[in-house]
Amino acid sequence: MDMLINGNFIDLDEKISVFNPANNELIDTVPFATRKDAKDAINAANAAKKSLENISSRKISEALYEVSQELSRELDDFARIISLESGKPINAARDEVKRSVETIKLAAEESKRIYGETVPLDAGIGGKGFIGFTLKIPLGVVGAIIPFNYPLNLGVHKIAPALAAKNSVVLKPSIQAPLAALKLAEVMNQYFPPGAINVVTGKGSQVGDELVVNELVNKISFTGSVETGTMISQKAAMKKVTLELGGNDPLIVLDDANLDEAVLGAVRGSYLNAGQVCIAVKRLIVDQNVADEFAERLTRETNKLNMGNPLSPKTDVGPLIDEEAALLVEKTVNDALKQGAELLCGGQRDGNFYTPTVLDKVTPDMDVVQNETFGPISPIIRVNGIKEAIMVANGTRYGLQASIFTENIRHALKAAREIEAGSVMINKQSTYRTDNMPFGGFKMSGMGKEGIKYAVEDMTRTKLIVLNAGN
Ligand code: NAD
């Protein structure tokens, strides 16, 4: 597929190959863009600012609705592309497209609600007789950088609010999974002026870096790893920056929990997209009193999962994004076993696939729970009571989302208050996300919030107008 710069679909002689992680077959190629292509896209986005500002909010909203309808009509094609390029099971890929349709609709709605306010200037010395009001105006050019694991909806979470607030965008998708974003660009390009949306396919160190350092870019909206996010925040200088980074989400099970719900939450949360989700459940913190039963039930449910061809609707767990990722998961599990963890099921690698794995007797200091493991792993840490559970939950550098299963309202609220995370779910696993909720982590998991209303707010600037109304 071609990339989109200034309304033109552009091919280059040098290509990046895109492989299907399920069988390593070549699916397609995309242009291998350089820093120069990124600069061209940024210049086009900068030039498009004026034409976007001249479109009424009503028309912007209508255009976004049209895009959401077209996405809905092409749901099957989008889902197939997502599944092929990322290895995501087709049912989950379909869910991603459905969510993207809704996310764009939310942006269409939000584009009509960008309000300023009046300011009571006469409350200040010298303010008598003056009227003040604010306008929420576009920031300008938004640089959007996304990872491989939600190649459509993460792009939508940046492009749609940017356009809703009349900003132009340059999106850099992951080179491992750039196709859904390019198809989205094809759809969107029909409804917005040239240069409003640009998608450039290249390496992070070139295309991504140009977005981060180029003075014409006013905001970086980044989703990806802590390591890349940290580097970006250091380089971005005067730009606004939103960072949606890695997670290591705990799921606490107290001894009064409904174990059916807790086990279901653990299975759904740990193995969604083979664990390659920032808000996947990455640590199961379970009270000693119920740990044996919980571990036994979790193992039984994990063994029922079907791993295989992502295009089959019967598949629950697909491959990891590439062999390097699978080898890293294998090493992390093997290291945990050497350090004393107990393997209850899984623990096998076959090429890019890694079997869903339950580890028991994990201790809070092991790498498997200190770092973000992007794979289908359920490590169980046994604790005594809520105090220790919260201490362990807070014992890593991450703080994206968290969950607790308990029937005791006081315990639930204590955990909700004390866990250092952007969201705490009570009796629901941390993979819970609606596209309008404020989403974004604490600690090293990020900075700022997404969720359409919050992203739109962050993609505007406040301008004050003062009117001398006399006495
Ligand atoms: P990554 O950080 O390796 O890459 C993300 C993007 O950044 C890619 O497009 C990459 O090309 C680009 N990039 C790399 N180096 C860059 C640089 N120097 N300058 C600018 N851009 C650069 O992440 P990944 O492996 O693709 O994705 C997995 C990570 O993303 C995990 O840590 C996961 O938790 C995180 N993630 C977070 C969220 C969230 O909302 N918090 C959602 C999904 C994924």
Q: Which residue has the tokens 């094609």?
A: 77
CA distance 80 to 86: 10
pLDDT per residue over 165-197, tens digit each? 999 999 999 999 999 999 999 999 999 999 999
pLDDT in tens, the chain (471 residues): 999 999 999 999 999 999 999 999 999 999 999 999 999 999 999 999 999 999 999 999 999 999 999 999 999 999 999 999 999 999 999 999 999 999 999 999 999 999 999 999 999 999 999 999 999 999 999 999 999 999 999 999 999 999 999 999 999 999 999 999 999 999 999 999 999 999 999 999 999 999 999 999 999 999 999 999 999 999 999 999 999 999 999 999 999 999 999 999 999 999 999 999 999 999 999 999 999 999 999 999 999 999 999 999 999 999 999 999 999 999 999 999 999 999 999 999 999 999 999 999 999 999 999 999 999 999 999 999 999 999 999 999 999 999 999 999 999 999 999 999 999 999 999 999 999 999 999 999 999 999 999 999 999 999 999 999 986
Based on the fold, state whether residues 292 and 429 are members of the same structural domain: yes
Around ligand 1, the residues with Cβ closer than 6 Å are 145-150, 172, 174, 204-205, 208-209, 212, 223-225, 228, 231-232, 244-247, 278, 372, 400, 446
Based on the fold, state whether residues 191 and 275 are members of the same structural domain: no
CA distance 160 to 416: 31
Q: Are strands 423-426 and 3-5 parallel, antiparallel or unpaired?
A: unpaired
CA distance 432 to 315: 21
Reduce the DSSP state of residue 151 to 3 states and report it. Answer: coil
Strands (E), 330-418: 342-345, 349-350, 353-354, 357-360, 377-383, 398-399, 401-405
Residue 278 is among the residues annotated as catalytic for this protein? yes
Based on the fold, state whether residues 186 and 305 are members of the same structural domain: no
* Nearest CA, atom 42, ligand 1: 278
Based on the fold, state whether residues 294 and 332 are members of the same structural domain: yes
Q: Name every residue whose Cβ is closer than 8 Å to that of residue 248 and which is 6 or more positions away in sequence.
A: 282, 283, 369, 370, 371, 372, 396, 397, 398, 400
CA distance 325 to 359: 19
Residue 455 alpha carbon to ligand 1 centre in Å: 18
Which of 278, 330, 372, 450 is catalytic? The answer is 278
Note the pTM of the prediction, 2 decimals.
0.98
CA distance 27 to 12: 18
Based on the fold, state whether residues 328 and 425 are members of the same structural domain: yes
How much of the chain is in helix, strand and coil states, percent to nearest 5?
40, 25, 35
Residue 224 alpha carbon to ligand 1 centre in Å: 2
Based on the fold, state whether residues 218 and 263 are members of the same structural domain: no
DSSP 90-131: HHHHHHHHHHHHHHHHHHHHHTT-----EE-GGGSTT-TTEE
Overall number of domains in the chain: 2
Residue 469 alpha carbon to ligand 1 centre in Å: 51
Residue 244 is among the residues annotated as catalytic for this protein? yes
440 inside domain? no
Q: Which domain holds residue 14?
A: 3-245+445-466
pLDDT number for residue 241? 98
User: Taking a C-beta distance cutoff of 8 angstroms, is the pair 167, 54 a contact?
Assistant: no
Based on the fold, state whether residues 318 and 424 are members of the same structural domain: yes
Q: Retrieve residue 33's tokens.
A: 């863009």
Based on the fold, state whether residues 240 and 313 are members of the same structural domain: no
Q: Closest Cα to residue 135, out of 105, 170, 166, 157?
A: 166
* Nearest CA, atom 24, ligand 1: 147
* Nearest CA, atom 16, ligand 1: 204
Residue 219 alpha carbon to ligand 1 centre in Å: 17
Which of 210, 244, 330, 372 is catalytic? The answer is 244
For residue 143, how far is the Cα from the chain centroid?
A: 15
Q: Which helix (H) or strand (E) holds 170?
A: strand 168-172
pLDDT number for residue 471? 67
